[in-house]
Amino acid sequence: MIEILFYLKHKHSPENCPALRGPEIVAKTFGKIITPEHAKKAGVKVLGMYADAPAHTVGFIIEADNIDRIGAFLGPLLSIGSVETTPVSDLAKTKLIFA
C-alpha cells in the first residue's frame, strides 16, 4: 500500500509577514504551528518543515487522514496568507507500482 502524504505550501506577502508585525503575531502563527502539541491536537504527523524566508514561503510535509485535520493544522497561517495543498507519495514506493 502506498502511503499518501501532503505537501503544504504557505505563502504570505512581505507586508503581511509576521516577523514585521511583532512578536505577538509570530507567536500566534509560526510559533504555534511548529509545536508538536499543535500537530498532535490537529491530528497530523509533521515529517518536515522548511522555510524560504526571503520569498515569504514555508513548506510542510505531513501525514493526515482527512482534509479537516489539514485545515486544523493550517489554521494559524490562514489569516496571514494562502496555502496550496498537494497530495504526494514517496517516489521509491510509487515506482514499485510501475515496475
Q: Is 3 helix (H, G, I), strand (E, B) or coil?
A: coil
Q: Is 67 helix (H, G, I), strand (E, B) or coil?
A: helix
Domain-wise residue ranges, the chain: 4-98
24 has pLDDT over 90: yes
Cα distances (Å, whole numbers) of residue 24 to 8, 27, 29: 24, 5, 9
Tell me: the pLDDT tens digits for 48-78?
Answer: 999 999 999 999 999 999 899 999 999 999 9
The reported pLDDT for the residue numbered 89 is 85
Q: Which CATH number fits domain 4-98: 3.40.50.300, 3.40.109.10, 3.30.70.1060, 3.30.930.10?
A: 3.30.70.1060
Split at pLDDT 50, 70, 90, the class of 4 is: confident
CA atoms of 41 and 9, how far apart (whole Å): 20
Cα distances (Å, whole numbers) of residue 90 to 1, 3, 7, 40, 82: 11, 7, 11, 22, 25
Please give the model's pTM, rounded to 2 decimal places: 0.87
Q: Residue 15: how many CB atoms within 10 A of its CB? A: 8
